[in-house]
Amino acid sequence: MSGPFVPLNQDWMVAPVEQLPGGGDIHETIKFDPQGKILDAHTTVRLPGGFDVNMPWGQ
């Protein structure tokens, strides 16, 4: 289930989606402009052991 946005810095935020068995997770990473428009975004599947697979939105 999606969680609230967590700021990474002034432009980027992360929204947790789901924890995976064995320690991985799925989350959304989104960059906003000052007006709130999405400038860039990707979904990350983090596998146990730290291997990440990033899937860009709308590319």
Q: What is the pLDDT of residues 28-45, one digit of tens each?
A: 999 989 898 999 999 999
pLDDT exceeds 60 at position 51: yes
- What's the pLDDT score for residue 3? 66
Cβ neighbors of 12 (< 8 A, separation 6 or more) are: 29, 30, 31
pLDDT exceeds 60 at position 16: yes
How does residue 14 score in pLDDT terms, banded at 50, 70 and 90? very high
- What's the pLDDT score for residue 42? 96
- What's the pLDDT score for residue 54? 95
- What's the pLDDT score for residue 50? 82
Domain boundaries, the chain: 6-51
